[in-house]
Structure 1
Amino acid sequence: MEKYCNNSWAQIVELLNSNVQSGLSENDCEALRLKYGTNKIDLPSGNKIYKHILNALKQKSIIINLIITIILFVFEHYLFGIITALILLLNLILIVMHTIKRDKEIGALERLNSADTVVIRDGAQKIIKSEELVMGDIVKINKDSVIPSDIRIISANEIKVDEKSITGEAFYKEKFESKIVGNIFSLTDMKNILFKGSIIKSGSGLGIVISTGNSTQLGRMLTMLTYASNRKHNFGTMISKILERYLLIYFLGIIIIGSYFVYTGQDANKNYICTALFALGCFPVTIIAKLVFKNIIKSFRNENIEIINFSVFNLIKDVNILFLDKVGAISKKEMIVKKLFINDNLISTEDPYVKETTFDRIVEISLVCNNAIYNPSDDSGKGELDELAFLSYAARKKIYKAAIDSRNSKILDIPMDSDKRFSTVVSKFNNRYRANTRGNVDDVLEQCTHVMIEGIEKEITDEYKAKIKEVDMNLSIEGLITEGFAYRNFTYEPSKSENIESNMVFVGIIGLENPLEENLENTINRIKDKAIVPILFTEESKLSAITNAKMANIIKNNNQVVAGIELDSLNHQELKDLLCRVRVFCRVNPEIKSKIVSLFIKDGHKVATTGETLGDLPALNLSNVGIGKGKASTIVKKVSDVYIKENYLDGFFKIRDFSRVFDGNIDRGFKVYFIALFSELLTLVGSIIMGQTGSLEFGNVVTINGVLFIPLSLIILLKKGRDITRNEMIVRSFVLSIITMVSIYKLGDKEAAIVTLTILSIGILLFTLFNSNISVRKFSNELIMPVISLLVIIIAVISMILINGILIRDIIGIEIAASIIFLLIFEILARKWQNSLMR
């Protein structure tokens, strides 16, 4: 991509065998399409619903419920069959909708493939579909155009473009046709390139297609996103496997017992078989899952944590390697100017301001080469941390950027890149011109032939250069981040083609502090206590990184820190051996970062990585848990599993701690449901023995399994509770069923149905409340679901009484009250017994 930026548009047109006036020939387009590929991005297609349905139908839980539905219809229990079929259909629809929703936002980009585009071919303007574009096509660009491919600008008429989805920058970018001098550090530096998927907000122009389809920046990102989506979304699979295990055990049990009755000719007991199967199939698991997902996501959003992939709760609990960016994790998101080296002296920033030429010059350069916005009245601002620090320091000395800018109009901006770690702004002042440079001290010093001391430019000697480097090293050892400053005066306006950044005058060094977090020791101990190894990425020098990492208790030895430049020459095995000891990486490029992450994953580690730029995409995509942070773009967020704008380390632990609780809650949820189901099945068996035919009927099953378990599940899944053992499941089930059978003994069918519904429902509700540690002493939000559950039971009982026209006898009321009191006492005693065991 850099070659398209660094060469003139005329050279690019010639390179691609095109012509600005006539464009490509239609006869050549098909050959180019075969050579470079089409301009169509392979996206998850929104119209292939059948594939989502087929994938859902492969789940064993769906297959079991489908078999249950078929059996109910075969046994001519049509009402049971219809309800089970409706619940099955609803579960299926919600599963399919969930998978479609995952792809929807990506699939919406399908319009990029089919949008109309104006091109020049065979000397004439034509309107074609975007997917028909080929490398070398000449494209016309107008306001509100969606850029159809990656395009090198040929002519630009005040073009401003919204490329937030590509670069993450919220403001509109100005674009031009001139070639860019020097290497390109990031996509944001490619100011003569328009990226596929961005939108022209103003202006017009002409450009040539330099990349199509999956080869575009957007295409590569979406390929990464699709891969991450397919690999990481495993929460539904985990839930399905747990459900399958329970369903299969109960289903086989019912089928085996039912087959015996059918085989022995006891056809009358087919009703019991169908009721048992109906109870098994009448479970709206996806409705419960959707409500739980919604509540949890909302809860985390209130804490400024955006859950993008719900499977993060399944992925994060096994993480044992945590890659961190220094700023925002162990250090604050701020920098402070602490020391200056000027006039052969090291001075403190607390010293009073005395007007002096060298001091004024270094401050002036720090403000000219500065894109941050700062408000001195409340010490707030927006921009890079070092630039904000320069503005804050200058304001304390009563020097303001607005005043400096009014005297220095910007003429030319030469950005920093990977080969030269400094940037330059050429400004005009008093009919003269000055190149103002700031960046890495060593790199800036290499461009200098003179040094300013007390306002006088003197030729710089090798000895003095050595002293400057020594000062820089000492400041780094103190843990400061250093930047060098230089300038060069011109009597004429310099052009981009000449070597502006040479023969410069060195002014001095500014040392900045990036303060460590106050509670850092607790934070690092918290990470290590969880058996997680923290590994740091930082942009500071190696010496500064060693000092700060030791202060943070991340390293003990200097050889645990390595600079990116040291890694460039290592082969695969050497790099792998190095990773065993290194805990801090300084100034590594995105390629090396993703390589480091992949090596840890190949070794079997579970890795979490943070990132916010497009360069972080590969590492985020490879890691088990990707954490987007800060100013992450839309694409970066989508590749991430979670987005935490601020305090992402705290957010990581909130998610991890909740995942452990949630994992236990899911297990409890299924166990409570199958306690209810087992109790129902035992009650059915007891009814057969007692000759009671109406104890568990359609209304009971629908109320308990289909309705009541929705609020009960929210209580269980959202509130931490006690673990439930298998023995406890069996004991609870027998207690519930025995009390129910005793209560319905010698009752009529309709009365027995009401008693069964009441006792089973209240029993399950009481167990859920005691197990979930919900306080009933005062009303709170956590009591809403129990109140709803109680209302469901009351409404269901009253409805059954009214529908069946039953007059409740005193004995029935007494039996129900006695049963509830017994269950309440049983739960109180059971809880006390559990508490005594825990002691």
Structure 2
Amino acid sequence: MNKYCNNTWAQVVEMLDSNVQKGLSSFECEARKEKYGTNKIDLPSGNRISKNIINIIKQAHIILYIVITVLLFILETNFYKYIVLGFLIINVMGSILYNIKRGKEIGFLEKLNFATSIVIRDGRELLLKSEEILIGDIVKFKNGSVIPADIRIIKAINIKVDEKNITGETFYKEKFESKISGSINSLGEMKNILFKGSVIKDGEGEGIVISTGNSTQLGKLLAMLTYASNKKHTLLDKIQKKWGNYLLSSFILFALGILLTGNLEKYHDQVEKGLLVITCFPIIIISMLAFKIILKQFKNKDINIINFSAFDLINTINVMFLDKIGAITKEEMIVDKFFTDGEIIFSKDIDYSKNINVTRIFDISLLCNNSTYNIEENTGKGDLTEIAYLQFAAQKKVYKSILDNKNFRIIEIPMDSDKKMLTILNKMQKGYRANSRGNLDSVLERCTHIMLDGIEKELTDEEKNKIKDIDIKFSAEGLITQAFAYRNFNYQPSTDENIESNMVFVGIVALENPLTDDIEETVREIKDNGIIPILFTEENKISAITMAKKAKIIYKNDQVVSGIELDSLNSQELIDLVGKVRVFSRINPEIKSQIIALFNKDGYKVVASGETLGDLPSINLSEVGISKGNAPLIVKKVSDIYVKENYLDGFFKVRDYAKIFKSNLDRAFKGIYSIVFAELMILLSSIILSYNQMLNVTNIVFINIFLLVPLALIFILKENGQELKNKQMIVRSVILTLATIFVTYGVNDNQKSLLSLIILSTGAILFTAFNNNISIQKKSIERKLLFISLLLTTIVVLAIVLIKNIILTKVVIINLIISIIVLIIFEILFKRWQNSLMR
């Protein structure tokens, strides 16, 4: 890319064998398309169905399903094999659909390929789709144009471009056609290049295409997304792997049990039922339902979980990159002090009408302002600094709308990354005035005069030094400053004139960006969790030091470094420095990504946030990426978490729940497996005791498919459930097996299956209720799921009794009641035992 910047545009045109007047010929287009490819961004797909199926089939639990399905077909069962085959298909299709959904989240970005542009071909101007543009094409653009490829500028007429989608910088950039001498260290320094996806905000011109498709800077950014998607979606794979381990254990234990009992052919039916028990469980359905419920719960807290695997990844975080506003400080600015006419004035002492210098600053702050403020609701929309001016003025009964009506806006000269000042040219009652505000150095270097007591006087070096000293003083107090200046015209200046020159300095406004409530406690919490907080801030280094010390992020001044200092370092010096620094002041998005990459290289797991396409590298490099604020759809889709406001609070809410979720997932597996293990033990017991129908297909299908789904969801969702040990799980399975044997002793086959169903269902429901401390009085989703389980069991039991016309004797009923009471007593004693172990 540097070779295009460091050569003249004529040399670049020659280098690419093009022609400024005629463009490419039709004949050349075909050859170039063959050589360089099209301008279409082809997002590498890791989600092709064929590849998905191969990866899914390689998973342990799917292999086991296939093995069991084959066994059942070999055993020539009547219909068990079709049930298991159905579950195999459900699991495979569920995984495929999940991966296809992930693919769509990336694939929608291909819509970026279908913009149109004016291109010169064969000496004629044509309107072409973006994907048809080739390297060497001559492209024309004007105000509002979306740049279709990376372009070296040939002609630039007052071009200002919005590049935040590429560089992450919010200022408009001025562009020109001249070559750049010397080394170029960042995209922001490429002033003669337009990047694909950026937008022309002013001016017009033309240029030659130097990069297309995936080779463009935007293409490189978007190519990261598939990698990020694949490497970060880990949770479902882990769940399936864990379930596969449980299935394999069940299969091995049951196979050993069958072998120990002897004659396989004699117990053909029990073997088939055992294989059905092992496979007949909708883990995919439970996972999807749990994900949906949890996502809804977080959405109600204004937190969108885009990647559910964030609950898995967030526990590993040990470095947190923070953006100042919204994490360390509140999303508001407050006007604190003025410096004008040689003195500092506190905001509470400001009187709009009594001081002409103060009046001028008020006027500039409102006229040079693109934000809105609602007085009644005390809310604003736009830049925080501008909203602060509107709010402060409104408190003094001065309103932007009145000033705008009296002073018609003619021209706006926006801020850019070099000239950090905003200028608005207004038609006044008498003549014209350019009103400017911005960074002190940018404003002051354009001023030749100063307003003192309402009179314009020549600005001396002594006064400049005094102004700079005051600015440093405000910064040392942790305040953010802006300088104000103006220039009067007795005629309407054109855009070709250097309006921002020979200006009159008026003063400085110092604003406070208040720290968030309990910030010291928040920073302490970050550190207590074993996480290193590292701060990025847009304020100057002096102000950053003061703010970071107040927040207890740093204790020494040398823990803060500015972007200017970093620009002068080589790679090794940067590596040596970043490990010691805790606050980075005024660094560009590229350096930010380099810093995050260095921590990644050292094995740290980082979390970073962003809200523009320029932040995509940072989000991509992070173990957990957080989009925030007004992040565009693309950034939201490829981040892991989206938090509208206070993303730091959102991070801890997700992290705290992640610990609970991990524990709950383990409890859910053990809770489910204790029932499955009990079923297998009952089948093995029926072989030993020569019981024929102790557990039939109806029991297995109802318990495993219908009953265990809501019960498993309770385990996953409940936040204060009891921890489960493997020994406890086995003991519970043994108790359930013994209770089932006791209650089914000496009854006929129909009664055996009914009583087994009642005992297993009741045991599962009691176990879930006690272990998860579910309150019957308090409304909750867990209580609702428990009632659903009870209702389902009641309906199925009554249906079986009516259909099969089963009548239970008094002895059987008494035995059933005794068994249920024993299960209740067991759960009460078991819970007390667990509580005693926790003390």
TM-score w.r.t. the length of structure 2 is: 0.90
Deviation per residue, 1:243-270 (Å, 9 max, x gap): 1221222222233444566xx6541123
Q: What aligned pairs does 1:186-335 form with structure 2 within 5 A after superposition?
A: 211-216=211-216, 218-258=218-258, 265-335=263-333
User: For the residues of structure 2 that align with 1:550 and 1:744, how far apart are their CA atoms?
Assistant: 72
What's the offset of the Cα at 1:219? Answer: 2.6
**8 A contact 1:147–1:195 mirrored in 2:** yes
Letter in 2 for 1:693: N
- Name the CA shift for 1:184/1:634 in 2 (closer, same or farther; >3 Å): farther
What's the offset of the Cα at 1:495? Answer: 4.4
1:685 counterpart = 2:684: yes
Counterpart in the other structure of 1:558: 557
User: For the residues of structure 2 that align with 1:184 and 1:206, how far apart are their CA atoms?
Assistant: 25
Q: Secondary structure at the match of 2:776?
A: coil
**8 A contact 2:305–2:640 mirrored in 1:** yes
Q: Secondary structure at the match of 2:79?
A: helix
Letter in 2 for 1:800: I
Counterpart in the other structure of 1:461: 460
- Name the CA shift for 1:119/1:495 in 2 (closer, same or farther; >3 Å): closer
User: For the residues of structure 1 that align with 2:231 and 2:364, how far apart are their CA atoms?
Assistant: 49
- Name the CA shift for 1:756/1:146 in 2 (closer, same or farther; >3 Å): farther
Counterpart in the other structure of 2:673: 674
Counterpart in the other structure of 2:587: 588
Deviation per residue, 1:56-106 (Å, 9 max, x gap): 112111111111111111111231110111111111111110110011143
What's the offset of the Cα at 1:744? Answer: 1.4
Counterpart in the other structure of 2:772: 772
Deviates more, 1:420-429 or 1:320-329: 420-429
Q: Secondary structure at the match of 2:322?
A: strand
**8 A contact 2:163–2:172 mirrored in 1:** no
Counterpart in the other structure of 1:485: 484
User: For the residues of structure 1 that align with 2:191 and 2:412, how far apart are their CA atoms?
Assistant: 13
Deviation per residue, 1:588-617 (Å, 9 max, x gap): 111111111112222222211121122222
Counterpart in the other structure of 1:472: 471
1:97 counterpart = 2:97: yes
**8 A contact 1:486–1:507 mirrored in 2:** yes
Counterpart in the other structure of 1:340: 338
Counterpart in the other structure of 2:723: 723
Letter in 2 for 1:268: K
User: For the residues of structure 1 that align with 2:109 and 2:77, how far apart are their CA atoms?
Assistant: 47
User: For the residues of structure 2 that align with 1:212 and 1:790, how far apart are their CA atoms?
Assistant: 62
**8 A contact 1:233–1:311 mirrored in 2:** yes
- Name the CA shift for 1:129/1:545 in 2 (closer, same or farther; >3 Å): closer
Q: Secondary structure at the match of 1:267?
A: coil
What's the offset of the Cα at 1:282? Answer: 0.4
User: For the residues of structure 1 that align with 2:118 and 2:574, how far apart are their CA atoms?
Assistant: 49
User: For the residues of structure 1 that align with 2:422 and 2:179, how far apart are their CA atoms?
Assistant: 12
Q: Secondary structure at the match of 1:484?
A: strand
Counterpart in the other structure of 2:386: 387
User: For the residues of structure 2 that align with 1:208 and 1:152, how far apart are their CA atoms?
Assistant: 5
- Name the CA shift for 1:122/1:828 in 2 (closer, same or farther; >3 Å): same
User: For the residues of structure 1 that align with 2:173 and 2:448, how far apart are their CA atoms?
Assistant: 35
**8 A contact 2:165–2:197 mirrored in 1:** no
Q: What aligned pairs does 1:748-787 form with structure 2 within 5 A after superposition?
A: 748-778=748-778, 780-787=780-787
The structure 1 residue matched to 2:347, chosen from 343, 346, 349, is 349
What's the offset of the Cα at 1:274? Answer: 1.6
User: For the residues of structure 2 that align with 1:609 and 1:226, how far apart are their CA atoms?
Assistant: 18
What's the offset of the Cα at 1:363? Answer: 2.1
What's the offset of the Cα at 1:208? Answer: 7.2
**8 A contact 1:450–1:504 mirrored in 2:** yes
Counterpart in the other structure of 2:606: 607
Counterpart in the other structure of 1:801: 801
Counterpart in the other structure of 1:422: 421
Counterpart in the other structure of 1:526: 525
Letter in 2 for 1:337: V
Deviation per residue, 1:29-73 (Å, 9 max, x gap): 134335543212223559932222222112111111111111111
User: For the residues of structure 2 that align with 1:115 and 1:612, how far apart are their CA atoms?
Assistant: 23
- Name the CA shift for 1:780/1:670 in 2 (closer, same or farther; >3 Å): closer
**8 A contact 2:150–2:217 mirrored in 1:** yes
Letter in 2 for 1:765: I
- Name the CA shift for 1:412/1:354 in 2 (closer, same or farther; >3 Å): closer
**8 A contact 2:338–2:507 mirrored in 1:** yes
Alpha-carbon RMSD across the aligned residues, in angstroms, is: 4.0
Letter in 2 for 1:24: L
Q: Secondary structure at the match of 1:515?
A: coil
Counterpart in the other structure of 2:68: 68
What's the offset of the Cα at 1:130? Answer: 5.2
Counterpart in the other structure of 1:24: 24
What's the offset of the Cα at 1:397? Answer: 2.8
What's the offset of the Cα at 1:525? Answer: 2.5
Letter in 1 for 2:522: T
- Name the CA shift for 1:176/1:239 in 2 (closer, same or farther; >3 Å): same
What's the offset of the Cα at 1:415? Answer: 2.7
Counterpart in the other structure of 2:706: 707
Letter in 2 for 1:227: Y
User: For the residues of structure 2 that align with 1:365 and 1:6, how far apart are their CA atoms?
Assistant: 40
Percentage of pairs with the same residue: 53
User: For the residues of structure 2 that align with 1:178 and 1:559, how far apart are their CA atoms?
Assistant: 38
User: For the residues of structure 2 that align with 1:431 and 1:151, how far apart are their CA atoms?
Assistant: 44
User: For the residues of structure 1 that align with 2:569 and 2:794, how far apart are their CA atoms?
Assistant: 72
Number of residue pairs matched?
831
Counterpart in the other structure of 1:646: 645
User: For the residues of structure 2 that align with 1:438 and 1:449, how far apart are their CA atoms?
Assistant: 15
**8 A contact 2:169–2:589 mirrored in 1:** no
What's the offset of the Cα at 1:228? Answer: 1.0
Q: What aligned pairs does 1:621-636 form with structure 2 within 5 A after superposition?
A: 621-636=620-635
Deviates more, 1:829-838 or 1:115-124: 115-124
Letter in 1 for 2:292: K
- Name the CA shift for 1:705/1:269 in 2 (closer, same or farther; >3 Å): same
**8 A contact 2:534–2:583 mirrored in 1:** yes
**8 A contact 2:770–2:831 mirrored in 1:** yes
Deviation per residue, 1:651-705 (Å, 9 max, x gap): 1111111100000010011101110111111111211111112111111111111
- Name the CA shift for 1:81/1:29 in 2 (closer, same or farther; >3 Å): same
**8 A contact 1:174–1:191 mirrored in 2:** no
Letter in 2 for 1:825: I
Q: Secondary structure at the match of 1:350?
A: helix
**8 A contact 1:153–1:194 mirrored in 2:** no
What's the offset of the Cα at 1:24? Answer: 2.4
Letter in 2 for 1:732: R
- Name the CA shift for 1:498/1:18 in 2 (closer, same or farther; >3 Å): farther
Give structure 2 stretches of 5+ with no counterpart.
Answer: none
What's the offset of the Cα at 1:498? Answer: 4.6
Deviates more, 1:641-650 or 1:805-814: 805-814
What's the offset of the Cα at 1:210? Answer: 6.1
Q: Secondary structure at the match of 1:268?
A: coil
Letter in 2 for 1:757: L
- Name the CA shift for 1:46/1:443 in 2 (closer, same or farther; >3 Å): closer
Q: Secondary structure at the match of 2:553?
A: coil
- Name the CA shift for 1:113/1:369 in 2 (closer, same or farther; >3 Å): closer
User: For the residues of structure 2 that align with 1:23 and 1:287, how far apart are their CA atoms?
Assistant: 58
What's the offset of the Cα at 1:756? Answer: 1.0
User: For the residues of structure 2 that align with 1:570 and 1:20, how far apart are their CA atoms?
Assistant: 40
**8 A contact 2:172–2:416 mirrored in 1:** no
- Name the CA shift for 1:454/1:141 in 2 (closer, same or farther; >3 Å): closer
